[in-house]
Amino acid sequence: MFQESTTFQMFLEQANDWQVPLHNVFLDYEVTVSKRPRKVLWEMMRSRIDVMQTSINEGLSKPQNSRSGLIRGDANLMQGWIDSGHSLLDPLFSKIIASALAVAEVNACMGRIVAAPTAGSCGVLPSVLITLAHHKKINEDELIGAFFTAGGIGIVIEQRASLSGAAGGCQAEVGSASAMAAGGLVEMLGGSPDQVGHAISFALTNVMGLICDPVLGLVEVPCAKRNVLGAVNAVACAEMALSGQKSIFSADAIIETMGKVGRKLPEEFRETAKGGIATIPLPDKF
């Protein structure tokens, strides 16, 4: 039923043929692959979303301080800024930024998170999908559906490129998370399967070439703030797609290009802490 190597086009055609949202097609795929009933899979996704919500709350309400000292409760600081009414744009936008930071910081401080697609990029999907679902009063089943679409996009990226910073740089982790969130968001807000594809293309194109350069080799700096980049980019790309803008290149072409760029990245830019930000000498206090 499903080919060895999946393409986004394949899922897209099926969704269009059957006139159903993409998440139905992805859920069928997951039933085939996992041999688990639909209902079980749906509940598993629900419990993942519950964990994500808990990590958002934890990171926003309590300052997260990592053992290395590189993470010092910035999500909590951002929440204070929102509460004091200083948000530059709508406070909702600040909330997305704060939530992405919150989950990434909870991860850095050995709290419980959902790797989505990786632990290093775990802040992107919850901050975008959960925050906007609350704001737009999206019902829980639609939110769960959006996560299946996001996950399905992740499957395609994993098979045609990579989801790992060690293999493909930050573009493969935060970049993939951003494309997954953008696609999931388009579907959640009523966009068509084709628009999901355009959002994926926009999101990955914008982060093409982003390197993985973790300071001290830890998942802290620049990772937490790169999660914000992924989240904000996802919102912008989803909105562009929803407005009717079309990508010149297909999602599959962009995904494959990201994979090619990743394979060409020198080793120092692939999670080895030997390049980029990771090579700047740290101030004495660290």
Specify the DSSP element, H or E, that contains 160.
helix 140-160
Q: How far is the CB of 62 from another protein (least distance, A)?
A: 14
Question: Restricting to residues 88-107, which ones interact with another protein according to CB under 8 A?
Answer: 106-107
Q: Determine the interface stretch with another protein among 93-101, 160-168, 230-238, 246-254 (rule: CB under 8 A).
A: 160-168
Q: How many angstroms separate the CA atoms of 9 and 251, rounded?
A: 8
Binding track, positions 9-48, relative to another protein; x by CB under 8 A = -----------------xx-xx--xx------x--xx-xx
Q: Which is nearer to another protein, 111 or 209 (CB)?
A: 111
Q: How many angstroms separate the CA atoms of 259 and 255, rounded?
A: 6
Q: Are 115 and 151 in contact (CB under 8 A)?
A: no
- List of residues 6+ apart from 45 with CB closer than 8 A: 144, 147, 148, 151
Q: What residues pair up with 270 in beta bridges, in sequence order?
A: 212
Q: How many angstroms separate the CA atoms of 70 and 109, rounded?
A: 10
Q: How far is the CB of 122 from another protein (least distance, A)?
A: 8
Check binding of 175 to another protein (CB under 8 A): no
Question: Restricting to residues 61-90, which ones interact with another protein according to CB under 8 A?
Answer: 67-68
Check binding of 148 to another protein (CB under 8 A): yes
Q: What residues pair up with 212 in beta bridges, in sequence order?
A: 270
Binding track, positions 104-143, relative to another protein; x by CB under 8 A = --xxxxxxxxxxxxxxx-x--x------------------
Q: What DSSP string describes 141-159?
A: HHHHHHHHHHHHHHHHHHH
Binding residues for another protein (CB under 8 A): 26-27, 29-30, 33-34, 41, 44-45, 47-48, 51, 67-68, 106-120, 122, 125, 147-148, 150-152, 154-155, 158, 163-164, 166, 216-220, 273
